[in-house]
Structure 1
Amino acid sequence: MEDFDHLSAECFDVYQFVNYHCKSTASNYNKEVTVAALVSRLQIYVERVNSSLEKSSLQFVSTMSQAIKEIDMMLYNTRILMEKRSNLRIAIINVHRDTEEYMANLEHKDAIFKKLQLARHAMQESDSWGKVIVELDEILEQNDTNGSKDKFCILKKSLCALKHMSGHAEREAQLEYYKNKIEILATPSVAYCFQTGNITQCVNLANLFKIIDRFSQLKLSYRAIHKNNLIRKWQRCSETQSGTDVIVRFYKFLKDFIEDQQQLCEVVFNDVSEIIDTLSETLIDLRYYREYFTNNLLEKANSKFEFLIHTAKTDSQFALDINKKIGDATIHQDRLDCLNEAIFSYFNVFVEHYPDMEAAHAKEFIKGMYVKNADPTEIIRHLENYNASLVRTIDDTFERCVVITRKKYINQIYIMMKNTIDAYIGVYFEVQKMFLLNEIDFIDWNMLQYNINLMQLLGDLLRIITYFENKYSLVNPINDSTINRANALTVYNFWQGQLFNSADKAVMVVEEKNSELFFSLRNVGNIVHGNIVKIILLAIENHFLQMDFSRGETVDLPDCSFVPQEYITQVGQYLLTLPQHLEPLLLIPSDSLKSILCFCENAYGEGKACADILLNLIVEEITKLYINKIDGIASLSLFGAKQLAVDIEYFGNVLEEMGILPKPDLQQIKALLKMPLEQYNILSIGYNFRLVTMIRQKRNIISR
């Protein structure tokens, strides 16, 4: 029957089962016999299954009654257990109620017992309070500070025990009385110990003052004792010595004081805060004495700036040394800031007056700039010297401002130096006028040389202004590298809030001043450059005075019979010789001269030689002058028109020989002059209308 085990499978397929058995070898002869046999076998299998089910049912029925009995027994036991649990809960509640009453009774009795103990102890302490006071009075009469310390500790503990007893306020007053009495008794020892620097005795005193709750008063005494000593030291130094050595020696004494007291303060007070506070209080009390002493030295000093710089550097170095000696992570920054303020505070009055001193110094410097009725060579030498001194003056002024005021008045100094440079530009303006006071009718090559030298000095000034702007511009404040980097530490923290006050306003003023400054420089440069051109054109103007086309020849001569007139040949010869005068001056110009020429005239920035550019500019001016002269001619005959055309052509040939292209307007005038009268109106189409009209009027041609 094992073939039918798969009938109970979940995926059993009847059709598949039948087809499988019908395809077997035995079923090929008679399928009905095969099916009948298969059915018989299935019936037998069903009977066996039914028999197995019946047997299992009988077994289940026989065991069911026993299972029910066991379940009933479990339920019975459960009910008994629940009853016991309920009884136990009631018993616990009863026990808890009884215990709570007993515990409350015990706690009440314990509280009464403790109160009785406290009362008994208080009565004992109260009895001993008077005894301890008597003993303490006897010890104090004997000036025994150590004995009084022990008795005071007992009295202090007694006070704590009696704090709930009546009369506590009176006992507190008594305790405070003995604190004061012990402090008074120990005061002479305090002065002696701090004066001698005995660390062991100072520690004992510190313990005593801690016990009597007067440790803060001990610190005050320490500062007062040493502050008075330091003040007396200053008085002795200032009375017996003179000069800046007094400040140096006093600062050295303060540094020695720190070294002597550092170990004592660390042991007695656990840090060096008391040293810092002592120095701060001493320097604050000495502020007006130091100010008065420094002011007297300043009045006697040969160089007030040098004295202030020396004093400021001395203060800064002292502050730096102090911060290195006692700077500690455990020291609060506010304490160090207070010390730094005390070091520098006396110097504030000199810092406040510093801008006035610089203004007076700048006024004297500006006064020395001006020159009157001097030889041109001396004037050039004077300006050259002042250019060099101006750079030194700028650097020295800003260095003084940084050292003396720690940048506090950097804005004012910056603007003041701007005004100084502006005034210096005004000197150049006056000088260029002096070089042209006496105009002459012939070219003066020396005067040309002076103006070119003046132009070069303006280039040096432009370089100075650029240097000034790059290094000291407020938009890009002074680099801290100009200051000793060590001095940029805590020493300068006190001043940070005073730097660049009203910065936005200052930058606005500086930007406006910059535009005025460069405008003034460009204006003077343009004038000097114009003077150079004017000097060169002077001879040209004289030659053009010889122009004369008033002759009225009417003979129509061929062009080959005309030769250039003398005025234009003189102009040509002058132009041909001009480069040899300019090249030594402008062929290889200095960087300063090149920069100012480019600054004033864009044409010089085209990469050509300065002499060539100047020649082109001169030719442009000559061309304008020539055209103006032609415009001034009232009338031109046929002969005169041909002569003028020949003159213009000669002028153009001279320019071409110099490598300069003739100007288009002059070329058009030459062409218009050569046009036949009867064809003028037709041939002149496309030419400059203004020039066409001008030549038509000169040649008396009727417009159509």
Structure 2
Amino acid sequence: LELQIHLKHVAWTSSNQALQNMPRVLRDVEALKQEASFLKEQMILVKEDIKKFEQDTVQSMQVLVEIDQVKSRMQLAAEALQEADKWSTLSADIEETFKTQDFAVISSKLTSMQSSLAMLVDTPDYSEKCVHLEALKNRLEALASPQIVATFSSQSVEQAKLFVKVFTEIDRMPQLLAYYYKCHKVHLVGAWQDLCQSELSFNKQLSEFYDTLLSAWHSQLQWSSQVFKNPYEVVTVLLIQTLGAMVPSMPVCLSTAMDRTPQEDKLETLLELYQTTANFGRSLEAAVLPHLGESNPLKVSELVTALFDPYKPYQLQYGHLEESNLLIQISAVPLERGEVIDCVQELSHSVNKLFGLASTAVDRCVKLTDGLGVCGLLKALKALFTKYVSDFSVTLQSIRKKCKLEDAPSAGMFQEDWTAFQNSVRIITTCGELLRQCGAYEQQLSNKILATAGKYLSDSYSPRSLAAIQEASSTDRKASTKNPWQEYNYLLKGNPAEYASLMEMLYNLKEKGTGNSSLLTEPRAALTRLNQQANQLAFDSVFLQIKHQLCLNKGLTADTGCCFADYLSNVMDALGLQPSRTLQQIVTLLKAKPEEYRQTAKALSRRLASTIAAMRNLEY
């Protein structure tokens, strides 16, 4: 009870205190409202003051900017007036300066005039001043010309440095280099003309001229390094201009040399000349490559083009040249002789000669075209094998006539002779060797092509349109780190269609492997047909003996057939030869009993079985 009374007392006391404090809280709230209103008014005033200050500041800055612009224009005007006055002074003094013939002083004056002229671009007579200044530069160049020529002729380093400084100051460095090129070019071209008038062969003339150029390269590079900032580019341009100024020119000399060469020697002559040029190119490459970063790649590429482009027309005609050369050489390989045994020996010896010619053709292709002439090479090889197979076939026909395989048998004049059969087997062996060497040669050819021309095939290549191939080739060249000698490609621009065919061939060789190539499909098929003709020759020579036996015995009995088959086997053994499949079938059919003949013949050649059955008077 006391607790309740106490709680009521506390509650009543708290309520009275709260009621007493309420008016004071309300007064404090009202005071805060008034202060907030006052602060708001003050902030508005401050904001207006700031805005007014900014406007005043902008106006002030604009005034300052305008004042600065006026000041700048006044300074420019003052400088222009000074330069105009300086130009007038220099123009007035230049005549006296020229009288001194001091090139350094004259150059300094002209340089000052050039600087003054740069400040007078907006003046009305600016164009006239430019013309006047150029005339003064021309006058200085003409004045210095004799001494420039003398300096470059005597190889005076100090004097050359002076002229380099002078011509650099007056922006006439290309003109100074023109004097340098002309001075040395005249000397080098004169050396070429002297060689052309000598009794030396053209190849020797070319070799000695290249030695002169190489010597000039090294000597001029050493001298130019002391004078010019870019000696490698300077000497490279010197060689480019010299090669272009040769009289008579390289294309004319090559054409004349080829016209004077007999047809059978044209390709070898061209190859000798090209090798001479290539040797010089390799010497230059060895000299330039370590300093390729100091050279101008475009100028080096231009030098390579100037060196090798005279051979481009002949490289593009390589296939025709090679075909003509091979046909002339294979025509000199005799196959036909008076005696059959001599013909057989010539056929046997011709195999190595044939593939020897084919192998040397590949070597020539690599040396002359760096593998780019492969398409022409394959056409030439096709012509070579076609000619050889034709001559071989004609010889086989001649052997048939000499062995009288087409003559009707005569009972009265028969004398057993297996010489024709023996020779036929030897010819079959020759044909087998032809096919074996053809397969080996095709494998070697594929490997050689891929190893030599494979470098032109991009890893990203895939068969597509010609335009895309050219674009890919261009991209590869830009991304390539090869030197300009490796990048030279006469075929890409000379015959884009043939280049596309070459790329497709290389792609197929790379994808399918060189062991599955079809480069010599047609020649291989022709040699296979030749082998069939040789087998037919052997077959007919065997049946020549059978025909004579038939004439003597008025038919071929089972006993006679068995005896003849045994005799034929003995002849083969005596000759040390293994019977072919056809001969084995003949022996089998000759030995077969009449009642078993039909069953035996089922697994054999129907034509052969019919022929033997007719000889044995059997029904089949």
Instruction: State the TM-score, normalizing by the size of structure 2.
Output: 0.76
Does residue 192 of the first structure (1) align with residue 147 of the second (2)?
A: no
Which residue of 523, 528, 531 maps to 1:522? 528
Match of 1:141, as an amino acid? Answer: K
CA contact (8 A) 2:335 2:350 kept: no
* Structure-2 separation of matches of 1:419 and 1:97: 97
The Cα of 1:447 is off from its aligned counterpart by 1.5
Which residue of 256, 280, 293 maps to 2:215? 256
Distance 1:242 1:296, change over 3 A: farther
Distance 1:124 1:568, change over 3 A: closer
Distance 1:87 1:582, change over 3 A: same
Query: In angstroms, what is the RMSD of aligned CA positions?
Result: 4.1
Does residue 275 of the first structure (1) align with residue 235 of the second (2)?
A: yes
Distance 1:69 1:394, change over 3 A: same
Does residue 317 of the first structure (1) align with residue 279 of the second (2)?
A: yes
* Structure-1 separation of matches of 2:7 and 2:155: 117
Determine the structure 1 residue equivalent to 2:451: 480
Does residue 83 of the first structure (1) align with residue 41 of the second (2)?
A: yes
What secondary structure sits across from 1:329 in the alignment? helix
Match of 2:489, as an amino acid? Answer: F
* Structure-2 separation of matches of 1:149 and 1:548: 120
CA contact (8 A) 1:369 1:427 kept: no
Post-superposition Cα deviations, 1:163-195, rounded to whole Å, max 9, x if no partner, equal: 344433332332222222223233334333433
CA contact (8 A) 1:369 1:386 kept: yes
Determine the structure 1 residue equivalent to 2:345: 381
Match of 1:284, as an amino acid? Answer: G
Distance 1:580 1:129, change over 3 A: same
Which residue of 490, 494, 505 maps to 2:484? 490
Which residue of 399, 410, 420 maps to 1:447? 420
CA contact (8 A) 2:435 2:528 kept: no
Determine the structure 2 residue equivalent to 1:583: 573
Match of 1:582, as an amino acid? Answer: M
The Cα of 1:143 is off from its aligned counterpart by 0.9
Match of 2:443, as an amino acid? Answer: N
What secondary structure sits across from 1:435 in the alignment? helix
* Structure-1 separation of matches of 2:41 and 2:455: 96
Distance 1:546 1:377, change over 3 A: closer
Match of 1:494, as an amino acid? Answer: N
Distance 1:117 1:387, change over 3 A: closer
Determine the structure 2 residue equivalent to 1:224: 182
- Once the two structures are superposed, the pairs formed by residues 624-635 of structure 1 within 5 Å of their partners are none
* Structure-2 separation of matches of 1:374 and 1:44: 163
Which residue of 197, 200, 204 maps to 1:245? 204
Determine the structure 2 residue equivalent to 1:326: 288
Match of 1:478, as an amino acid? Answer: I
Match of 1:251, as an amino acid? Answer: Y
What secondary structure sits across from 2:293 in the alignment? coil
Post-superposition Cα deviations, 1:55-104, rounded to whole Å, max 9, x if no partner, equal: 66666556555554444333333333333333333334444444555554
CA contact (8 A) 1:442 1:539 kept: no
- Once the two structures are superposed, the pairs formed by residues 20-419 of structure 1 within 5 Å of their partners are 65-240=23-198, 242-243=200-201, 244-263=203-222, 265=224, 268-270=228-230, 272-286=232-246, 288-294=248-254, 299=260, 304-327=266-289, 328-329=292-293, 331-348=295-312, 350-351=314-315, 355=319, 357-372=321-336, 374-407=338-371, 409-419=373-383
The Cα of 1:456 is off from its aligned counterpart by 0.7
Match of 1:416, as an amino acid? Answer: A
Determine the structure 1 residue equivalent to 2:605: none
Post-superposition Cα deviations, 1:351-376, rounded to whole Å, max 9, x if no partner, equal: 46655543443333343345445112
Does residue 617 of the first structure (1) align with residue 612 of the second (2)?
A: no
CA contact (8 A) 1:145 1:182 kept: yes
The Cα of 1:451 is off from its aligned counterpart by 0.4
Distance 1:586 1:478, change over 3 A: farther
* Structure-2 separation of matches of 1:388 and 1:307: 25
Larger relative contact order, structure 1 or 2 (CA cutoff 8 Å, min sep 6): 2
* Structure-2 separation of matches of 1:64 and 1:205: 106
Post-superposition Cα deviations, 1:622-666, rounded to whole Å, max 9, x if no partner, equal: 47xx9xxxxxxxxxxxxxxxxxxxx747xx7xxxxxxxxx65268
* Structure-1 separation of matches of 2:359 and 2:453: 10
* Structure-1 separation of matches of 2:390 and 2:69: 102
Distance 1:89 1:322, change over 3 A: same
Match of 1:574, as an amino acid? Answer: F
Does residue 537 of the first structure (1) align with residue 532 of the second (2)?
A: no
Match of 1:495, as an amino acid? Answer: Y
Instruction: State the TM-score, normalizing by the size of structure 1.
Output: 0.68
Match of 1:502, as an amino acid? Answer: E
Determine the structure 2 residue equivalent to 1:502: 498
The Cα of 1:148 is off from its aligned counterpart by 1.4
CA contact (8 A) 1:255 1:322 kept: yes
Distance 1:389 1:483, change over 3 A: farther
Post-superposition Cα deviations, 1:289-346, rounded to whole Å, max 9, x if no partner, equal: 3344455666479955443323212212222322332241354543332211110123
* Structure-2 separation of matches of 1:612 and 1:199: 86
The Cα of 1:533 is off from its aligned counterpart by 2.8
CA contact (8 A) 1:122 1:165 kept: no
Unpaired runs of 5+ residues, structure 1, are 1-42, 550-565, 588-609, 627-646, 653-661, 668-690, 699-704
Does residue 572 of the first structure (1) align with residue 562 of the second (2)?
A: yes
Post-superposition Cα deviations, 1:548-575, rounded to whole Å, max 9, x if no partner, equal: 89xxxxxxxxxxxxxxxx9443332232
Distance 1:388 1:114, change over 3 A: closer
Determine the structure 1 residue equivalent to 2:508: none
Give the number of aligned pairs: 553
CA contact (8 A) 1:280 1:338 kept: yes
The Cα of 1:215 is off from its aligned counterpart by 2.4
Identity of aligned residues (%): 18
Determine the structure 2 residue equivalent to 1:431: 395
Determine the structure 2 residue equivalent to 1:471: 444
CA radius of gyration, larger in: 1
CA contact (8 A) 1:340 1:494 kept: no
* Structure-1 separation of matches of 2:12 and 2:583: 140
* Structure-1 separation of matches of 2:496 and 2:374: 7
